[in-house]
């Protein structure tokens, strides 16, 4: 009987796996645009309605980074959602892997649900997981 109780207590204390939720539509639409039509449309989609929407320099920097990576890694073939963390009903971070033909990028997209709907407020990506995903996302 003690063994059963200890196992039950151990199971109760074990970390609960992160349940992937659906990312905001702006995040998913950007992933689809990246795979279907490339980084220019993806960045336009992600930045639409955000404070960076009219910042041509920042948009160009993001587009160029995706293009440079794509020259070495090949075409985008899809993405894998890793986790969606909802800090509140109006703020979430989506962690994903963008899959290219020969390589991958880790990406984190922060979104805020303001009066006009969900908008991206930050994007980070890198080919090194520790540069983008916090330890809690990297570890099971």
**Residue-level pLDDT at 7:** 37
**Nearest residue to 93 via CA among 77, 75, 76, 106:** 106
Percent of the chain at pLDDT > 90 equals 80
How do residues 72-96 score in pLDDT, each as one tens digit? 999 999 999 999 999 999 999 999 9
Contact 17, 140 (CB under 8 A): yes
CATH number belonging to domain 25-138: 3.10.450.630
Domain ranges, ordered by start, for the chain: 25-138
How do residues 34-53 score in pLDDT, each as one tens digit? 999 999 999 999 999 999 99
CA distance 40 to 54: 14
Give residues with Cβ within 8 angstroms of 140, minimum separation 6: 17
How do residues 94-139 score in pLDDT, each as one tens digit? 999 999 999 999 999 999 999 999 999 999 999 999 999 999 898 8
């Amino acid at each position: 009987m003690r063994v059963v109780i200890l196992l039950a207590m151990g199971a109760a204390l074990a970390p609960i796996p992160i349940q992937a939720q659906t990312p905001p539509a702006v995040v998913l639409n950007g992933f689809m645009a990246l795979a279907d039509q490339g980084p220019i449309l993806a960045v336009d989609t992600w930045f639409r309605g955000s404070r960076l929407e009219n910042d041509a320099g920042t948009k160009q920097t993001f587009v160029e980074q995706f293009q440079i990576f794509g020259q070495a890694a090949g075409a985008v073939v899809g993405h894998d959602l890793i986790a969606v963390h909802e800090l509140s009903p109006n703020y979430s971070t989506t962690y994903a892997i963008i899959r290219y033909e020969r390589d991958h990028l880790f990406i984190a997209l922060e979104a805020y649900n303001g009066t006009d709907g969900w908008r991206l407020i930050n994007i980070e990506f890198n080919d090194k997981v520790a540069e983008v995903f916090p330890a809690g996302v990297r570890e099971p």
